[in-house]
Amino acid sequence: MTAQALPRTSPASVTQAARGGNRRPRPTAGRVVALVILAVLAIAWLAPVAWALLTSLKTEQEAAAFPITLIPAEGFTLDAYITTLSEGMVPRWAWNSLLTSSAITLITVTISALAGYALSRFDFAGRKMLLAVIVASIMVPGQILIVPLFQQMLTLNMVDTYWGIILPQVIAAPMVFILKKFFDQIPRELEEAALMDGASRLRILLQIVLPLSRPILGAVSIFVFIGAWNNFLWPFIVINKSELMTLPVGLQTVISAYGIQYAANMAQAMLAALPLIVLFLFFQRQIIKGISTTGITGT
């Protein structure tokens, strides 16, 4: 038997094939239209943010002047930021927001993960009804619960305390549902093998399920943290002491006696949003990855 000669490949053909493999697909009409629509939506979202930033860098006279101008004639100034920082307790309010938001995130993710895992893996009496109640509670406006929650905080002597801010916000039905749907997609064979090796359910959850759920846990944590940081209504109701106020509530107390001050209001909004913008810039990949793996579209 004679061995067949292998076809010779020249370096030029290899280079050409490599270039062809890395060649980007030609843009289609649908792709171009989608990119244009996304660009328009991005500009529409960024326009109010840019307007707020420019207004916060004006003097009060320029901010209230008519006709409206983008670039102030007197130049940009930081007077609105200096006034806001000097008249309030912004560092203390920022610390309060960080403390309460972090505690809310930790407790909420823990409760949601345990509840989601139980609904996904255990078949107990009333499971379907409980899941239906959780889904139905998503449609209940949170404002309806303000009066009973406040009465409960009064009974427990938690008004004007950190726990009064934290505890009413640790139950998040949407996060329980999202984590439950994600746990449904994890193969049960991994847990069955661990059970045969003598592992307990808690150990399986901590060492198998949760490590596989890092993307969705990260996304849920970020969503809960942003919601807790931005929450204005409940901290405004339950807190009266200035030193316990969160940043959104505290900034609203920096109000001048001269009526509406547009530059100061925009400066307050930018200061309140700055930590969340930084958070998104650092964790945007984690957020997108978590959204893509939520499993909400599953059955």
pLDDT value, residue 294:
53
Which pLDDT score, from 0 to 100, does residue 24 have? 63
96-110, 123-137, 265-279, range with the lowest pLDDT: 265-279
List, for residues 234-282, the tens digit of each pLDDT value. 999 999 888 899 988 887 777 654 556 778 788 888 888 888 788 777 7
Q: Please tell me the predicted confidence (pLDDT) of residue 1.
A: 46
User: For residue 299, what pLDDT is reported?
Assistant: 36
pLDDT digits (tens, 9 = 90+) for 162-202: 999 999 999 888 899 989 988 888 888 888 888 888 888 88
Given a contact cutoff of 8 angstroms between Cβ atoms, the answer to whether 231 and 169 are in contact is yes
d(CA 202, CA 216): 19
Structure tokens at 265: 């209001």
Domains for the chain: give ranges and CATH numbers: 37-77 (no CATH), 90-292 (1.10.3720.10)
Write down the pLDDT at residue 295: 45
Question: Average pLDDT of 146-157?
Answer: 92
- pLDDT reported for residue 72: 74
What is each CA distance from 181 to 147, 150, 162, in whole angstroms?
32, 32, 32
